[in-house]
Amino acid sequence: MNKLIDSLRSKIYFDQYLFISISLLSLMGLIFLYSASDGNISTVVKQSFFVIFGLILMFIASQPDPDFYKNNSLVFLIISIILILLTLLIGKEVNGAKRWLDLGVFTLQTSEIIKIALPVYLAAYLYDKALPISLLNTFLTLFLILVIVNFVRIQPDLGTSLVILIAGLYILFLAGLSWRFIGVSLSIFILSLPFIWNNFLEPFQRQRVLTLLDPTADPFGSGWNITQSKIAIGSGGIQGKGYQMGSQAHLDFLPETETDFIFSVIAEEFGFIGVCILLAVFFFILIRCLYLALNARDRFCRLTIGGLSLLFISTIFINLAMVVGIIPVVGMPLPFISKGGSSLLSFYIAFGIIISMASHKKLMQK
Amino acid sequence: MIDLNERISEKKNFFNRLIFVYIFFGFLFLYLIYKTFSLQVSSYTDYEIASLKNKTREILLQPRRGIIYDRNGEIIANNVPSYNLIIKPSEVKDLDSVLSNIRQIIDISDSQIDNIKDSYKTKKKLNREVVLKKDLNNEEIAKFEVRKYKYPNLFIAERYSRESKYPNLFSHSVGYVGNTSEDNIEEILSLQNLRPKETIFKYSNGYMSGKTGLEYVYDKELRGLYGKKIFEVDASGKLLKERETIKAIDGKDIHTSLDLKAQQVAHQQLNNRRGAVVAIDLRNGSIVSYISSPSFSVNDITNGLSQDDFDKLINDKNKPFFDRAGQGRYSPASTIKPAIGLFGLEKNLIDWEFTIQDIGFFELPEDGRIYRGWKKGGHGRINLQDAIIESSNTFFFSLAYQTEVEELIEYLSNFGFGQNVCSDCFSPDKGLLPSPAWKMNTHNFGWFKGDTVNLGVGQGYLSATPLQLAYYSAFLANKGSIDSFSFVQDNKIKTKKIFISNNIKDNDWRKIHHSMIGVIESPRGTAGRLKNLKEYSIAAKSGTVELVSTETKEDYKIIRETEGKRDHAIIVAFGPMPEPKYAVSVVIENGESGGSVAGPVAIAVLNSLIKNE
């Protein structure tokens, strides 16, 4: 019997810590979503299917050897870029944004795929390059990142394009981008901020930034979301108003309760205690990722785990910072909690890849 | 291939950088937790209040307006229930079919249907009621009630309208209510620390406030205090459920001193002639009758009348809206004579034995100008008593001639001339008590002796309202002590104004009263025709206000062809003598004879008041 388990274990690649914590998070998400959707059972059932499907995808994605990802990363990247371009051409338009490809049974948000494919490709491209990374490679990869980011930005999807940019830059940074280069480009970036403000942001995006600086200036217009979100969070207090008792959420004061602003619902109904518990689960996952990255078998795995986990952190932070009013409203779901299809599945796949990188050991380390 | 050293340094470099980023995020998350903590713990109260404010909506509850009573407890301004047909949009699926069904039994105008359709959508979204028709009549109510089961989403609800059972009797005293301007609503509500907001109305006219008369003067008392209903609402403002009700406090009822019967008598007696009647209870200075004629219906003004009817009222040449009792200015004419006589006694210019030879006119020594009496050839040798009874002009011309005009004017002001005599009347006029300074300012002419002579018979610049004449009458009746007038019983603790006089003794007052009784009783009295009308002993002084000065009776016959040029009839009276309880003044415009035209009205009002004590 034990032999059987042992032989199974040697064939199955698995990380119980991540698997349990992500399942727990998904379950919490379903519970929160039930309240956030005003007790809409069909929303919760649909989300449950995504969660189960996601967990299966995660399991499947963790089985191949890291070399599989390394060798095929270019193929994945090209497929994702084609999908992105297709989206721009024949994508489904919702509220003036073209972000989705209609696949009949499922609408696919293609930027969610490239969000994973790009860091993996970059890790595969950079893992065997000598340190420090040459200027040529720096510019080549930066160029690739910026082109892809721009494809997503013009959909327009500022939130996801930002995350893709950050994810790409993490890989470069972790791979050993020279500090001097970082310093120089940061200064250029800061100096060119006014130019970006005027030429790269849509008027509504600029309005969001201005709203952040002074949400009270127009509380019923663009400041409404931030103001109502803050009221929801603040009025939750330490213990919260109780499950399904959040008046801000249930009387429609809070916008987008199922997606971007689900954290506000949690904070309103479960209070500061609930917020701390939720964050604790997130932190546990992040710490586990850090451990796995530091113990990965080779440079490619290290870079991939590091990059994907930082992608995860950034997404969480952007969402939370947005709903408490630290940064502008950019449209960013809370991973594993917010309602969603593609955005939800992409993180299961990302964690499947992380588990794959962490659980495949080589006898002879390179 | 990377060699071992390079690999170790790469690994170290990676560790450092990854941990660097993690620490960076550690700080970001610390800030995030701090921010959440400050929202949820430090500023919790603020946000809790904000959240509560978000989800609750206060709706004001209109209080019931106080009822106005006459002095015997008869209701003279009341809240009469009217019935509105109301629809609850949130329970309606197809508005058009509901409307076409209900129109088969109840007539609703097309314009009203348009109004309903306009407001329907928003009201439905917000879960509010829509009024289909206001003020249903009995037939409509009956028609609806028997078919009620067919209209589950319609109902009839009670709303009040302000109405009087005697719509024409109190139009100028009690006045009327009307819709209120936005500014006024704001002011009214701010007195109760409220701001204008959605309101559940008790009255089908919505917000209303007193516009004239006591409805205006006592608006604050009558109005009451607004209550509140607190609802839970969602973000769109839709009412979800009621959480709390703070009841409205109804307005205070007002018990006036007005006497319904006296009002009816006065109104009937004036019979739509232009004029006014004011009667006073001498025991407390309260106004028991206050009529201006012609009148109008306060119910029509408050609850609506057609534009045509309204234009008719506004353009009526008899000016029914004009409050002749409180704002009409008339010369006191001969009614002033007792006051001039009292001044002569006070200044020792005359006594009761003093006589003059009345030859029918007085000639001003300065320029020989002639001031005529009403009787050709004069009254012969005449003393003060007879001069009052027979209304000798010559006697008072010559008496006035001897006075210092400033002293006379100051004296007359004691009688209420040129003064506000009422504490709660709606914008009373002060009349005009002329003075040399006033004449200089307005006419740019000096005061002539002739002006003083004219003052002696109440003609010329001097003018008074019927209200002031009633005060004057009451002043004579009460021998100089008098309360400021008021419409309300036991309104405030009043201080009687005591008339300070050096030379006027009780005996003088009695003789004045006696003379005024003689006006009716004496065979030579100017109001002798009233002898058979009166049921009690009454003192009076009549007057005839010349609008056009004429030399002879023939001249007057010509001008009286034009009704508007005929003399005004005027009388002041009080009784029963010798212990008078009521004083009255009557003015009838272009009525010609004070004694025989205004007199019967005064007698009828006094009879009614005294009889119904």
Residue-wise pLDDT for B492-548, tens only, equals: 555 666 677 777 888 999 999 999 999 999 888 888 888 888 889 999 999 988 887
The complex's ipTM works out to: 0.92
Cβ proximity of B205 and B302 under 8 Å: yes
Percent of chain B with pLDDT over 70: 98
Residue span of the structural domain in which A311 resides: 25-359
Q: Are B388 and B519 in contact (CB under 8 A)?
A: yes
Residue B49 within any structural domain of the chain: no
Among chain A residues, CA nearest to B33 = A276
Give the lowest-confidence range in B154-158, B252-256, B453-457, B488-492: B488-492
CATH number for the domain including B92? Answer: 3.90.1310.10
Would A1 be classed as within a structural domain?
no
Query: Between chains, do A299 and B10 touch, taking CB under 8 Å as contact?
Result: yes
pLDDT at A193: 84
- Please check whether residue B51 lies inside any domain of the structure: no
Read off the tokens for B443.
């006419």
Is A63 inside any structural domain?
Answer: yes
Residue B54 in any domain: the answer is: no
Nearest CB partner across the interface for B14, out of A174, A251, A275: A174
Check if the beta carbon of residue B564 is closer than 8 Å to that of residue B590.
Answer: yes
Percentage of the residues of chain B whose pLDDT score is greater than 90: 53
Chain A contact present for B233, CB below 8 A: yes
In degrees, rounded to 5, the angle at the alpha carbon of residue B555 between the alpha carbons of residues B549 and B560 is: 80
- Reported as a single tens digit per residue, the pLDDT across A2-44 is 777 777 767 788 899 999 999 999 999 999 999 999 999 999 9
Tally of domains within chain A? 1
Q: Does B30 touch chain A (CB under 8 A)?
A: no
Q: Using alpha carbons, select from A265, A271, A263, A248 the residue that is nearest to residue A322.
A: A263
Instruction: Examine residue B471 and state whether it is found in any structural domain, yes or no.
Output: yes
Together in a domain, B250 and B330: no
* A366 pLDDT above the threshold of 50: no
- The pLDDT tens digits for A316-328 are 999 999 999 888 8
Q: What pLDDT, on a 0 to 100 scale, did the predictor assign at position A145? A: 94
Say which of A170, A237, A283 has its CB closest to residue B48.
A237
pLDDT of B461 above 70: yes
Whether a cis peptide bond, with omega within 30° of 0, leads into B578 is: yes
Q: Would the CA dihedral through B68, B69, B75, B76 be positive or negative?
A: negative
What pLDDT score does B90 carry? Answer: 76
Q: What is the pLDDT of residue A365?
A: 45
Work out the average pLDDT over B348-376: 89
Predicted local distance difference test score (pLDDT) of residue B6: 76
Contact B85, B133 (CB under 8 A): yes
Q: Is B53 inside a domain boundary? A: no
Does one domain contain both B244 and B336?
Answer: no
Does residue A258 fall inside a structural domain? yes
A149-184 confidence digits (pLDDT tens): 999 988 888 888 888 999 899 999 998 888 888 888
Token pair 């893709």 is found at A164
ω into residue A203 within 30 of 0, thus cis?
no
Q: What's the full length of chain A, in residues?
A: 366
Q: What is the DSSP letter of B530?
A: G
Tell whether B415 and B562 lie within a shared domain.
Answer: yes
Q: Residue type for A243, please?
A: Y
Look at residues B239, B255, B271 and tell me which one is the last residue of a structural domain: B255
* Range with the poorest average pLDDT among A124-128, A211-215, B107-111, B544-548: A211-215
Residue B225 has pLDDT above 60, yes or no: yes
Q: Which of A87-96, A331-340, B173-182 has the lowest mean pLDDT?
A: A87-96
Higher-pLDDT residue of B195 and B441 is: B441
B231 and B289 in one domain?
A: no
**How far is C-alpha A108 from the geometric centre of its chain's CA atoms?**
16
Same domain, B210 and B271: no
Q: Among B224, B255, B286, identify where a domain stops.
A: B255
Give yes or no: residues B161 and B93 share one domain: yes
> Do the domain assignments include residue B8?
yes
CA nearest B13 in A: which residue?
A176
Give percent of chain A with pLDDT exceeding 70.
Answer: 95
Interface of B with A in 236-295 (CB under 8 A): 236, 240
The per-residue pLDDT for B494 is 59
Do B21 and B106 lie in one domain? The reply is: no
Please state whether beta strands B370-372 and B361-363 pair in parallel, antiparallel, or not at all (unpaired). Answer: antiparallel
Q: Residue A72 belongs to what H/E stretch? A: helix A66-90
Query: Which of B20, B54, B125 is the mutation pick for testing A, counting most A CBs within 10 A?
Result: B54
Task: Enumerate the β-bridge partners of residue B209.
Answer: B178
> Rounded distance, CA A178 to CA A160, Å?
26
Candidates B9, B40, B43: best to mutate against A (most CBs of A within 10 A) is B40
Residue predicted with more confidence, A155 or B471: B471
B48 lies in some domain: no
Number of neighbouring beta carbons within 10 Å of residue B189: 17
Burial class (CB in 10 A: 0-12, 13-18, 19+), A137: middle
Work out the average pLDDT over A279-307: 94
Same domain, B406 and B552: yes
Closest CA to B330 of B467, B172, B527: B467
- Does B439 reside within a domain? yes
Per-residue DSSP letter, A13: -
Q: In which residue are the tokens 């009525």 written?
A: B591
pLDDT, position A216: 65
> Catalytic annotation on B391?
no
B457 and B521 together in one domain: yes
CB B363 within 8 A of CB B370: yes
Number of folded domains in chain B?
3
Residues B33 and B63 in one domain: no
Q: Which two tokens stand for residue B309?
A: 């009817």
Average pLDDT over residues B195-209: 83
Same domain, B402 and B499: yes
Q: Are residues B34 and B72 in the same domain?
A: no
**Please, which residues have CB within 8 angstroms of residue A74's CB and are 6 or more apart in sequence?**
A121, A124
Catalytic hit among B164, B297, B334, B473: B334
Q: What is the mean pLDDT of chain B?
A: 89
Per-residue pLDDT reduced to its tens digit, B72-85: 999 999 998 888 88
| Residue reference for tokens 């060119």 | A192
Q: For residue B87, what are the domain limits? A: 59-255
Predicted local distance difference test score (pLDDT) of residue B492: 57
